[in-house]
Amino acid sequence: MGDAENWRTHWTTYEAADTDRGIVGDACNGIRLITETGAKDPVETIALPIAGAEDAEGLPEALAGEWALYTPEQLTATASAVFSQLEGVAANLHALKATLERMEARRATAFTGTARDRLTARFRMATSVRARLPRIMVASARTTKVGVRRVLT
């Protein structure tokens, strides 16, 4: 799998193949109501990271079971979605920083120096993670492909 492969295709094709019994659509429809037309107000904007937080907290428990996933294709779809989330988190932190800067420019925040320092540290961490993502995804893709080949042959 090359650097240029679009990891997003793995999780989007999983849903498109009708292998999910409609559960993916059911879980995502509320989010798609916002993302397909763009958030129109702060409440819709805030709903997106809250949904992501719910997912982030629920996935480790879902993956803990012995039969959480049955096939290498399910593992690949899950991994690609998690990588997409990781990339999205890095982008979201940068967008959040830009929003904070706009709010500070119009004097609409009351952040303390300590709070701003903590956010700045998170932004730096996100930049570091984002820079490493292509290598992480390629290495994981190779591992996943090897596993898929072993199971299928």
Alpha carbons 75 and 31: distance in angstroms, whole number:
23
Taking only the tens of pLDDT, the chain with its 153 residues reads 344 357 678 888 887 777 767 888 888 899 999 999 999 999 999 999 999 999 999 999 999 999 999 988 888 888 888 888 888 887 888 888 888 888 878 887 766 677 778 877 877 877 777 677 666 656 655 655 554 444 433
Contact in structure between 82 and 59 (CB atoms under 8 Å): yes
Strand ranges (E), 5-137? none
| pLDDT for the residue numbered 142 | 60
Contact in structure between 78 and 69 (CB atoms under 8 Å): yes
Among 150, 145, 125, which Cα is nearest to 7's?
145
| pLDDT for the residue numbered 67 | 93
| pLDDT for the residue numbered 153 | 37
Q: Against a cut of 0.85, is the pTM above it?
A: no
Among 89, 152, 99, 153, which Cα is nearest to 125's?
89
